[in-house]
Structure 1
Amino acid sequence: MTWDLLVAGGRLADGGQADIAISDGVIAAVGPGLPRDASDIVDATTKLVTPGLIDLHTHVGAGYWGIDPDATAWYSGVTTWVDAGSAGAYTIDGLRRVAAGSALRIPALLNISAVGLAGRTGESRDLGNCDVALATDTLQKHRDLLRGVKVRIDRDTVGDNGVEPLRRGLAAAGRAGVPVMVHIGTAPPSLDEVLDLLRPGDIVTHCASGIAAPLGPAVHAAVERGVLLDIGHGSGAFAFDVLERQLDAGLRPHTISTDLHARSLHGPVFDLPTTMAKLLAAGLTLSEVVTATTEAPARALGLPGGRLVPGAPADLAVFAVREEEFEVTDAHRQVRRSPLRLVNELTYAGGRALIPRLPAPVPPWIPLTDAQRAALARRDRSLRALLATPLVGVDGLAEQFPRESEPRENRSS
């Protein structure tokens, strides 16, 4: 048998090494010393090979927060982008079109507010938007796309409605048999009110938020009954000091996600490998951070992938592991040093290597610092210079259409 692709000799996160054979978009075989019988062989003997990363909290497509995932996936190793509540019942068809047009997997969480995240905040101030029956019907109709319910609970989002949007989200999720992901932030309502409502398998995102600071007994009680903690870094929801206190108290994040969106893409998040490095800086092991970005999120939402086993989707990421300390920053400009840097070199989705994509311009409503604007301008100039320069010189060319050996005008008649 000839495989389509063989990724040979890659280092695994648990310290082992293996060959990974791929045929027809799925993993056909995994193990040492597989036959070198493949249409394409990639030597990964010095690289870290992981399942395609699964980012449990992102925002894609249109709206205030949305980004184009394909423009980031190819250099970050993320092949599954869980859209966490960008769309509600009124706007789910638009998200479905975005997912259908992408080379990536884009499962989603349905916003309990039918209007979704068209704007910055406030989607659950009108409880008329938080229609349980409509959300339930939408979940049932789009079961192939929707894996849960998203509810944002903070003062700006819910206004005077407290935890009622969460109660409604839980009711819809219960009827559909799916989990709820709840965003925590500025009180009221209080964090304890939010946590006390959650069920086993529900997810608290922004779990190391410096604003919500989830550190009390209610957090321990929630984790003990099976509630999952998700990082959800975002532009304002990850603080090193909070995470370090949680780790000291025995609270560990179950999943590591970016909350990558239009306001966090250019910093402080940047991408999932950078976020993973921040967890390494806090003391987690490489094996832990890989599990928290592959197998753990796959289990949390019942997603395909997350493991390098025969029959799994052929979603893979190949990284160079640079064992060099470098500076990483949280959402509040607290600095730590990561012991290593993960640099993506190849990303495969369904057995096909993702190709480079240029990023879209920054939307005009996104606030940027002068330094960010200058860096984006430098990047644009560098890309222009790179692409405007001829790819190779004469020594790198071949004569594709050779001339006849003697010009016609020099021939005798």
Structure 2
Amino acid sequence: MTWDLLLAGGRTADGSPIDVAISKGVIAAVGPHLPRDASHISDITSRLITPGLVDLHTHVGPGYWGIDPDATAWHSGVTTWVDAGSAGAYTIDGLRRVAAGSSVRIPALLNISAVGLAGRTGESRDLGNCDVPLAVDTLQQHRDLLRGIKVRIDRDTVGDNGVEPLRRGLAAAETAGVPVMVHIGTTPPSLDEVLDLLRPGDIVTHCASGIAAPLGPAVHAAVERGVLLDIGHGSGAFAFDVLERQLAAGLRPHTISTDLHARSLYGPVFDLPTTMAKLLAAGLTLSEVVTATTEAPARALGLPGGRLVPGAPADLAVFTVHEEEFDVTDAHRQVRRSPLRLVNDLSYVGGRPLIPRLPAPVPPWVPLTDVQRAALARRERDIRALLATPLVGVEGLAEQFPRESEPRESRNS
């Protein structure tokens, strides 16, 4: 049998040699020395190959926070973008249109608030928006797209409603048989009150938040009963000092996600490989970081993929691993040194390579520093100059339509 594609000479996160063969959009075979029997062979000698990265917390739907996933996916290796609550029951059709038009996979978590994230915050101040039967009906009608419920619990989002939106999200999730992801932040309500409600398999995102600072006994109790901790970096929800205290106390993130959105894309998050480098800086191993961005998030939501095994979707990412230290920054401008830099070289969804996409203009409501604005302007100039320069000179061209060896006029004279 001839495979469609063979990625040859790669290595796994633990350094083991590996080849990956692809046929009809799925992984056909995996092994250290597969036969070179493929329509196309890509030499990835000594480079890291992983399942396509699964970002458990992103925002790609319409609204205040949403971004275009394709413009980042092709150079970051993220092939599955879990939209975490951008859409509620009233706005789910808009998210479905985004998912249908994207090159990457976009499963989603339904916001318990039917209005979703059309604005910056406040979606659960009116409990009329947190309609449990409506959420259940929406989950059942969109089971191919929706994998759980998202609830944001912080002072600005819920107002005087405390944990009632979370109670309603849990009720809907229980009926539909799906997990809940809960965002934590400013109090009230108290963090302990939020954590005590969660069930095994539910997810706490922003688990290393410098604002929520989840470090007490309630966090340990939640983890012990099976609640999952997710990084969810975002523009204000990741602090090195909190993570380091958690690690010292035996609390480790189960999944690593970006909370990539319109206000974090230009920094401090940038992309998932950069976020992975921050966890490496905190002391996690490369194998731990890869598992937390592939197999672990896929298992948390019952998603296909996440593993390099025959029969899995051929969602793959290939990286050059530069063994060089570089500075990484959290949401509060604390700096650490990462021992590795991961640079994505190739990304595949269903065996097809993701093609380059230019980034969209910055939405006018996104706050940027003068340095960020200057960097974006410089990037635009660099891209324009690159594309405005002829691709090759005469030495790189072929005569596609050769002239006849003798001009016609000469033959007729």
Q: TM-score of the superposition, structure 2-length normalised?
A: 0.99
Post-superposition offset of 1:411: 3.0
Letter in 2 for 1:306: G
> After superposition, where does 1:262-411 map in structure 2 within 5 Å?
262-411=262-411
Determine if contact 2:256/2:276 at 8 Å carries over to the other structure: yes
Letter in 1 for 2:51: P
Larger mean CA deviation between 206-215 and 95-104 belongs to: 95-104
- The alignment partner of 1:75 has SS state of coil
Structure-2 separation of matches of 1:289 and 1:406: 66
Structure-2 separation of matches of 1:218 and 1:412: 96
User: Could you tell me the percent identity over the aligned residues?
Assistant: 90
Post-superposition offset of 1:212: 0.2
Deviation above 4 Å: which 4+ runs of structure 1? none
Aligned counterpart, 1:196: 196
Aligned counterpart, 2:152: 152
- The alignment partner of 1:411 has SS state of helix
Post-superposition offset of 1:39: 1.1
Q: TM-score of the superposition, structure 1-length normalised?
A: 0.99
**Deviation sequence 1:353-372 (CA, Å, 0-9, x none):** 10100000000011011000
Gaps of 5+ in 2: none
Letter in 2 for 1:106: I
Aligned counterpart, 2:228: 228
Structure-1 separation of matches of 2:137 and 2:338: 45
- The alignment partner of 1:4 has SS state of strand
**Deviation sequence 1:180-214 (CA, Å, 0-9, x none):** 00000000000000000000000000000000000
Aligned counterpart, 2:73: 73
Q: Does 1:247 align with 2:247?
A: yes
**Deviation sequence 1:221-240 (CA, Å, 0-9, x none):** 00000000000000000000
Post-superposition offset of 1:407: 1.7
- The alignment partner of 1:76 has SS state of coil
**Deviation sequence 1:102-159 (CA, Å, 0-9, x none):** 1111000000000000000000000000000000110111111100000000000000
Structure-2 separation of matches of 1:29 and 1:196: 44
Post-superposition offset of 1:32: 1.9
**Deviation sequence 1:34-73 (CA, Å, 0-9, x none):** 1111111111121000000000000003200000001100
Gaps of 5+ in 1: none
Post-superposition offset of 1:13: 1.0
Letter in 2 for 1:246: Q
Structure-1 separation of matches of 2:220 and 2:209: 16
Q: Does 1:39 align with 2:39?
A: yes
Structure-2 separation of matches of 1:200 and 1:33: 41
Q: Across the two proteins, how many residue pairs are aligned to each other? A: 413
Structure-2 separation of matches of 1:56 and 1:113: 20
Determine if contact 2:61/2:87 at 8 Å carries over to the other structure: no
Structure-2 separation of matches of 1:196 and 1:10: 44
Structure-2 separation of matches of 1:85 and 1:412: 76
Structure-2 separation of matches of 1:308 and 1:5: 15
Structure-2 separation of matches of 1:42 and 1:61: 34
Larger mean CA deviation between 320-329 and 40-49 belongs to: 40-49
Aligned counterpart, 2:142: 142
Post-superposition offset of 1:410: 2.9
Structure-2 separation of matches of 1:203 and 1:273: 21
**Deviation sequence 1:322-374 (CA, Å, 0-9, x none):** 00000000000000000000000000000001010000000001101100010
- The alignment partner of 1:278 has SS state of helix
Aligned counterpart, 1:59: 59
Structure-2 separation of matches of 1:25 and 1:299: 21
- The alignment partner of 1:135 has SS state of helix
- The alignment partner of 1:357 has SS state of coil
- The alignment partner of 1:193 has SS state of helix
Letter in 2 for 1:315: D
Structure-2 separation of matches of 1:61 and 1:215: 32
Aligned counterpart, 1:131: 131
> After superposition, where does 1:71-110 map in structure 2 within 5 Å?
71-110=71-110
Structure-2 separation of matches of 1:332 and 1:138: 37
Determine if contact 2:48/2:321 at 8 Å carries over to the other structure: yes
Letter in 1 for 2:58: T
**Deviation sequence 1:70-110 (CA, Å, 0-9, x none):** 11000000000000000000000110111111111100000
Aligned counterpart, 1:30: 30
- The alignment partner of 1:66 has SS state of coil
